Amino acid sequence: MSTSRRQTVNRIREWINLRIYDSKIPAIRLLRYTSVPLSIAAVVSLLLSHGFALEPDQKAWVDYLLKTTIGFYILKYVVEFFYSFSPLQYLKDSRWEGLLMGYMTVNILSFNLFGVEILSTLGGYLGIEQLDAFFMVFVQAYFLLFVALEIGKASRLLPMLRLSPPALLVSSFILLMIVGTGLLWMPEMTKSGTGLSLKEAIFTSVSAVSVTGLNIIDVASTLSFKGKFVVMVLIQFGGLNFIAFASIFAMLANPALGTRYKSLLQANYSSDSLEGSVDLIREIFRFSFFFELGAAALLFFSWGDLEFAHIGDRIFYSLFHAISAFNNAGFSLFSEGMAHPALAYNIPLVVVIGVTIVLGGLGFTTIHDLFSTQAYAARRRNPWIHLHVNTKIALYAALILIPLGALFFAALEWNSTMLGMDQGHRVLTALFQSITTRTAGFNTVDFGAVALPTLLILIVFMFIGGSSGSTAGGIKTSTFALVFVNALATIRGRKRVEMFHSTIPVELLNLAMSAFLFSASSILLGIFMLTVTDGHIGLARLAFEEVSAFCTVGLSTGITAELSTAGQTILMLSMLVGRVGTVTLAFALTSRKKESHEYTYPKANVQVG
């Protein structure tokens, strides 16, 4: 475009802007105020249509409301485009929304003028009958995203609630569990159409959000596709942390997050700085979705001779197990779990899931340090920059604990639960169980048949768990490492604790010991309560179940559904406390008001041992 023509266009646009300026704010405000209740009504309608068997007239009303909402969004997009001071820039910034609105407009015109629905016709030509159905899922997700963005805009009101960051963290998980319970309680979430009982819905929701994997129902045979999809979404939200999702929406709506909000992200993901914690959130999403989609693609081609009804089931099963593995959830869409013969002896499948579990359990700061292009480039430019101490602990812990756990499992179960397998499969089974025991919850053997010594060893590995800032549970490998080296330094008479040529501050050592004692005490209390409510089952199996729940592992000897309602309630509380307890404790201890310590009392001589 020539300079003179550009100037002419700019003058015309400026003239238009001046004429519409006075009406811009009222018009945009009216659209915004109208969009929120209309979107919420559309979301509620979607929930009703998916959660209940509606009558034809009720379905017609839902369709009418959805079409009205779509029409409103098309109008809203056009009006915002008209009132934009720079229309071309607006089109660039909202190109994906523009493509969606453009398709909807063309599709509406095509259907009303010619009776042709574009995607249905295209799907018929391509032989993909579900193409239009997949697109409707996308459109429905768009409504959910819009409501989430509006919630994100409301996040600026969080300081007015005067909630401490630990309280905000706990509240977010409880809110997500309540929402998950409501969704799973709807009749259409089960194959029978009768719905789960309230207790079953609560337990399944808590287990999914806490990425544990314990169940009192058979997910594979009880839940419908809709129910399984809800469980998958709850796992994703719970694994990556609902606060992380909320922070993304808040940053989209209000990039200038307050220091108090960032401090929660810093504590939760062990970031070195407040600004770095926000950048880390972006990295978390990029890496997580990359690994999950990569694992799903590999699983798609690794099912072997296992038959699926159609390709859509194969895609969903691949995605579900990839998300469940990366988030260390342990949920499976097979009644026997990974112990299903078609899976346990499928070497590529077991390897893909095992590697995905390890990646999810390394921790997001470790993944960032290992795979981030910025971190890699910085190490190449500056050879004196090394991996962070946290990264080294995570890597060394994985390299030590995985072979050690496999060795223990193989030594104790070689001629019992693994009897009948060839040597190669026994080695693979031992390695996989060592990987999954520390938090993932998948099993390729029947844990109800595992010997008592093996259960005791597995309890120790479940208690240690995965790395800090990861989807894993347990006290975390860094906590265990600090407690161990502190004890070792005390025995050797050293005044300082050092790891990888770095001095560990006393504050961190005290924090690790606090987390260790908090977790151990909580588990012992849970075991005691279970012996009161379900003592007839036996101490060893109850202890294994409690450690599995608190450390969000999900392995079970098969007693979860046999427990009384009180016992199952204890497990639910353990899953919730285990998921957020150590992080909340750490934040509470590190964010207390600083006190003056410029004085000392006389030293006391206390006998130890």
Is the confidence at residue 414, as pLDDT, over 90?
Answer: no
Using CA atoms, how far apart are residues 442 and 459, in angstroms rounded to an integer? 15
- Give the pLDDT score at 143: 61
* Each residue's pLDDT tens digit, 132-156: 555 566 566 666 666 655 555 555 5
pLDDT band at 244 (very low <50, low <70, confident <90, very high): low
Nearest of 21, 6, 11, 149 to residue 84 by alpha carbon: 21
Number of Cβ within 10 Å of residue 4's Cβ equals 8
Question: For the residues of 363-403, what is the DSSP string, one character each?
Answer: -HHHHHHHH-HHHHHHHHH-TT----HHHHHHHHHHHHHHH
Distance between CA atoms of 579 and 177, rounded to whole angstroms? 12
Please report the pLDDT score of residue 254 as a whole number.
46
- pLDDT tens-digit readout, 310-368: 787 888 899 999 999 998 888 999 888 888 778 888 889 999 999 999 988 887 778 87
Spatial separation of the C-alpha atoms in residues 545 and 560, rounded to whole Å:
8
Which range has the worst mean pLDDT, 22-26, 99-103, 381-385?
381-385
| pLDDT at residue 16 is higher than 90 | no
Confidence of residue 520 (pLDDT cuts 50, 70, 90): very high
The per-residue pLDDT for 571 is 94
pLDDT digits (tens, 9 = 90+) for 72-110: 878 888 888 877 777 777 778 777 777 777 777 787 777
pLDDT at 524: 95
Report the candidate in 179, 281, 308, 288 with the shortest Cα–Cα distance to residue 231. 179
What's the confidence (pLDDT) of residue 252?
Answer: 45
Write out the H or E segment, with its range, that includes residue 314.
helix 311-326
Mean pLDDT for the stretch of residues 11-23: 71
Q: What is the mean pLDDT of residues 413-423?
A: 79
What is the arithmetic mean of pLDDT over 236-247? 66
Res. 474: pLDDT tops 70: yes
Sign for the CA dihedral angle at 118, 119, 122, 123 comes to: negative
Upper half-sphere CA count for residue 238 (Cβ side, 13 Å):
39
Mean pLDDT of the region 15-32: 76
Q: What is the C-alpha separation between 299 and 433, in angstroms, rounded? A: 19
Q: Looking at the predicted structure, is the pLDDT value of residue 235 above 60? A: yes
Q: Determine the pLDDT at residue 274.
A: 42
Position 249 pLDDT exceeds 60: no
pLDDT value at residue 70: 76
Which of 190-194, 380-384, 542-546 comes out lowest in average pLDDT? 380-384
Model confidence at 555: pLDDT above 60: yes
More confident residue, 208 or 54: 208
- Whether residue 309 is predicted with pLDDT greater than 60 in this model: the reply is yes
pLDDT of residue 144: 63
Higher pLDDT, 259 or 507: 507
Q: pTM of the prediction?
A: 0.82
Q: Where are the alpha helices (DSSP H) in 52-184?
A: 56-83, 87-93, 95-114, 118-126, 131-154, 158-161, 165-184
Q: What is the dihedral of CA 122, 125, 126, 128, to 10 degrees?
A: 70
Name the band, by pLDDT with cuts 50, 70 and 90, for residue 223: very high
Q: How would residue 161 be classed by pLDDT, with cut points 50, 70 and 90? A: low
Contact of 486 with 509, CB cutoff 8 Å: yes
Task: Give the whole-number percent of the chain exceeding pLDDT 90.
Answer: 21
